[in-house]
Every structure is written in C-alpha cells, then in structure tokens.
Amino acid sequence: MTPAASERVDFLLSKGTAEDVLRYAAELRSAGDPRGELIPIQLALESAQGSEVRPLLLAEERVLREHAATLLPWENRERSLSGLRWRRGFIEDAALADYGNIVEDIAPLTRAMRHPSMQRARTVSTRRWCKYAPRSIESLWLTQAVVTRGMCALPRLRSLHIENLVAGSAVICEGLERLTVGSFGATAMLDHGELPSLKRLGIVKHGTADCQPSLFAALAQHNAPLVLRHSSRWGWWTDADLRRLSDTSCEIVELSWRLGPGQPMPAGFPSLRRLVVTAPDVPDTELMNVPMLPNIESVEELALQTSPRAGLEALLRCLGDNPMVNGLRRLTICTSSPVTAAFAKRTFRKLEELRFSFRSGAAAVKAILEAGAFPALRRVETGPNGLRPLAASPYARQVEWLGLSMLDERTAQSWLATTRPAFPRLKVLAITDALELSAETRALMEEQGLRLVWRQRVGLGLPSVLAEDDMPAAET
C-alpha cells in the first residue's frame, strides 16, 4: 500500500462517515479483497446490541476463517485467531509472541509486520525489532532490541517498552509519552536524549550490582515520573541505588523492592503510588527477621510476589503493623506458595480492588477469600483457578467489576453455566488475554447484560497480575 493510499484508508476508516466506510468496502469487494466483506460486519458490531450481536459475530468468524490465507499475518495458516484484535477490516492490536526469537531468522517477523492487515496496527508486542513497523503504531513492546532512528521516527509512536536494551544512542522522539527500557544501555539512550513530551519513564533493573552514577544523572535530565522495576529473580534495585535516587530530584511513582535479611527499604519517596515487594528464592526460615517496610502514606497499591520457597507470610511480616495497609486501595498477590491463617489477621479496610494469581491452586484462593480481610471490596481480577472459589465466597455478592485472564472455551462455558448467577451486582466483565473463544461463546457472553471489556495484555515478561495496566482495551 502506497503512502497516499494508506493515508486515504486511514482517513476513511477513522474519520469518515459510515457511508464512506461502506463505499470503501464496496470498492474492496469489487476488487476481490475479502476485507470488503469483513469491514461492514465489524462496523455494525461497533453499535450492535442484544440480539443483533450473535449473527454478526458468527459472520465475522466465518469470514476470518474462510479467508485466513489472505487476512491473517501468520505464515502458518493453522494459527488461531487469538492475539489479534480487529477494527474495520484491519488488525488494530497484535501480539506476535512467537516471532523473532533471539536465535531465529527475523524474516518471518518482517513479513508479518509488512502484511496488509497490519498496516493500521496501533499496538504491537513481539520479541525483537525487525527494522520495519507500520507507521500507524502508537505503542510498541519488545523483549530485546537495539533502539534505532527508524524506531523513533514512527510518526504516531507514543509508548515504547524494551525489556532488554541491547544498545542505543540518544533517543530523539518528540511525541513519545511513555518509555520503559532495561537498565543496561539506558544511560546512552537517555543522556542528551530529546523527549519533550515524556510523561512516564520506566527502568527495568538487570543484574544485582549497584548502577553506575551516570544512570542517575541521565534520569535526572528528564522531568518525568519514574517507574522502577526489576527483571524477575536476576536483578533488583540495591540500597545504594535507592539512596542515590532519593538524592536526585526524580519523582518515583512505582518501585519494585526485593525483600531480604538486613536490607531495609529506604524511605524518602513521597510520590510513590505503587510498591511491588518480591520475596527472594530462599527458605522462609531465612526471612524470619526481615526489616519492616517504611510507612509511605502515598502508596495506594501494594503488590506481593512470593518465590517457590518463601511464602506469603514472609511478606506479611515485613508489613508488620504498618499504617500503610489501612490506606491501600488495591492489593495484588502473586504466589506459588500455600497461604495459611496468617493472612486472616489482616484487615484492609479501604481496599477496593484485589488482583491475585495463585499457582498453588484453588485452596490458596479459598484461604485468602475466607479471611474476611476486604470489607470494601468491589473489583476483583483473577485467573481460571480463582473463579470458582471467588463465586463461592461472600465477596461474590458485592463485586461490581470482575477481571478474568487466560479465559479458554471450557472456562467460559463454565462461567456461563454455573458461575454468573453468583455475582448479582456485577456490572463490568473484563476479559484479558482470552485464548481462542468461538463466536458462539462470545455471543453468549455478550448477551449477559454486562459491559464487556476485551483486553490484550502486553508487558515485560511479568506475571499477568503484575503487568502494567498499559494495555489495549476494547469496550462493548
């Protein structure tokens, strides 16, 4: 598609009237392009209600499957439809997770990015950068990449996230508003970088050594709130790192802190809104005397992430009787360890939202929900193993917003048949990272009388409930 043709299509599909869009679809049909059949269906879905939704979803699925060879960017035509979100005949958000592995040829990813269906994509998540991306991209998520001029020259780019930064020179990107990069190579990117529109700057710490002072000097050059994360168990912010940051003028709004014996978390972060506390992978007995977390009154969200050997109790001990608990609005728990009665001793009086992922199974979910610790709870986000225990708990009767992740056909059918009646006050159902759901199942969910939000998680390798809320979402 030539630049002129691309601009015309973009104008028609984003600013044109319904008549303009249907006229363009007719042109495509006459040229034998199946997009001409898909566009009217998806246009009608944008305003469809009640009984109108089912036939449109079934028709959309039929077109996508019959014309997969033309419409899908996958080279393997047997690939499912999941990972893609469409709007008016083109892919709007794409998770190309299976493309661009570090040891693989980058050519398949390049061909996928150049596919006609991708030329209006707004959000793309993939492992590597292939030196080409549609000019329509607004948000780009990469596992490993070198920052290039071509990447920064994308005219609509507003959000750029690179977990492992291989290398890069100073970033010059006038419209970029959110930037997240790995700590290795970040100094070269930020030092003398020109980011006049930057509203949020994130650094993912790799390694356990203290960062070089030059990194903190580079951070101080940009007047943007800081998000400080670490890369799983192989990297964390040290005490010296945080002391250097507290000596700068940087405004830190999110911090990931690794718990450890004799490692008190420094205070002095008056703007902190989100605190992620991670237990190291050591036996719980080695964390009996962990230092207490400082009372940071500005914190509204606390995330607790355990390790296989250190359980939730170690994280609760570091809280002690901290007054910070009383002001929390959101609590995130990600654990693979059993949950015991220690949790029941806590009461989060103002907590409105609970997000949890328990690899140890439904028993852990049941233990949390039976504790009676959340009298003000209204919003819950969980995975498939948490749905039944939540429905059986007293909280089901007060939940107004429910988030479900990794929903597959079986879980969705179970929700429809047995679980939905347990939530009498439910108003919003947010579905994140849905695996391939049939049009029939999606139609049944649409007919539940709820406001549906279909979300696609993109992130930096974090567990689902720990990932940032910077994800594309489509509400119906």
Using one digit for the tens of pLDDT, what is the confidence trace for 181-223? 888 888 888 888 899 999 999 998 888 888 888 888 888 888 8
What's the pLDDT at 472?
Answer: 44
The partner residues of 204 in beta bridges, in order of sequence, read 182, 229
Burial 10-24 (b: 16+ CB within 10 A, else e): bebbeebeeeebeeb
By the 8 A CB rule, do 182 and 162 touch?
yes
- Higher pLDDT: 449 or 475? It is 449
Specify burial of residue 428 (Cβ count, 10 A radius: 0-12, 13-18, 19+). Answer: middle
What's the pLDDT at 277?
Answer: 85
The partner residues of 325 in beta bridges, in order of sequence, read none
Whole-number Å distance between alpha carbons of 60 and 34:
11
- Our CA dihedral for 90, 22, 10, 158, rounded to 10 degrees, sits at -60
Q: Mean per-residue pLDDT for 357-384?
A: 76
- Residue 38: pLDDT band by 50, 70, 90 thresholds? very high
By the 8 A CB rule, do 173 and 190 touch?
no
- Residue 78: pLDDT band by 50, 70, 90 thresholds? low
Angle between helices 18-30 and 3-14 (to 10 degrees): 130
Cα–Cα nearest to 186, from 162, 209, 158, 156:
162
Whole-number Å distance between alpha carbons of 352 and 446:
26
Q: What is the pLDDT of residues 61-77, one digit of tens each?
A: 999 999 988 998 876 65
Cα–Cα nearest to 346, from 366, 325, 369, 318:
325
Q: Look at strands 226-235 and 139-147 and give their pairing.
A: unpaired
**Radius of gyration, CA atoms only, the chain:** 24
Whole-number Å distance between alpha carbons of 119 and 56:
24
Q: Look at strands 178-182 and 401-405 and give their pairing.
A: unpaired
What's the pLDDT at 462?
Answer: 39
Tokens at 211, concatenated: 């960062």
Whole-number Å distance between alpha carbons of 133 and 160:
13
Return the domain boundaries, the chain.
285-377, 383-476
Tokens at 226, concatenated: 């800081």
- Residue 340: pLDDT band by 50, 70, 90 thresholds? low
Whole-number Å distance between alpha carbons of 171 and 189:
5
pTM of the entire predicted model = 0.86
Phi, psi of 475 (to 5 degrees): -105, 140
Phi, psi of 416 (to 5 degrees): -65, -40
Tokens at 474, concatenated: 């489509």
What's the pLDDT at 417?
Answer: 84
Q: Is 434 left (phi over 0), alpha (psi -120 to 50) or beta?
A: beta
Distances (CA, A) of 134 to 34, 116, 124: 21, 10, 10
Q: What is the pLDDT of residues 109-166, one digit of tens each?
A: 888 889 999 989 998 888 888 878 888 999 998 888 888 888 888 999 999 988 888 7
By the 8 A CB rule, do 411 and 18 touch?
no
What's the pLDDT at 311?
Answer: 64
Tokens at 47, concatenated: 């305003």
Query: Which residue type does 81 have?
Result: L
The partner residues of 94 in beta bridges, in order of sequence, read 84, 124
What's the pLDDT at 284?
Answer: 67
What percent of the chain has pLDDT above 90?
A: 23
Whole-number Å distance between alpha carbons of 386 and 457:
19
- Higher pLDDT: 170 or 284? It is 170
Query: Which residue type does 431 have?
Result: I
What percent of the chain has pLDDT above 70?
A: 83
What's the pLDDT at 461?
Answer: 40
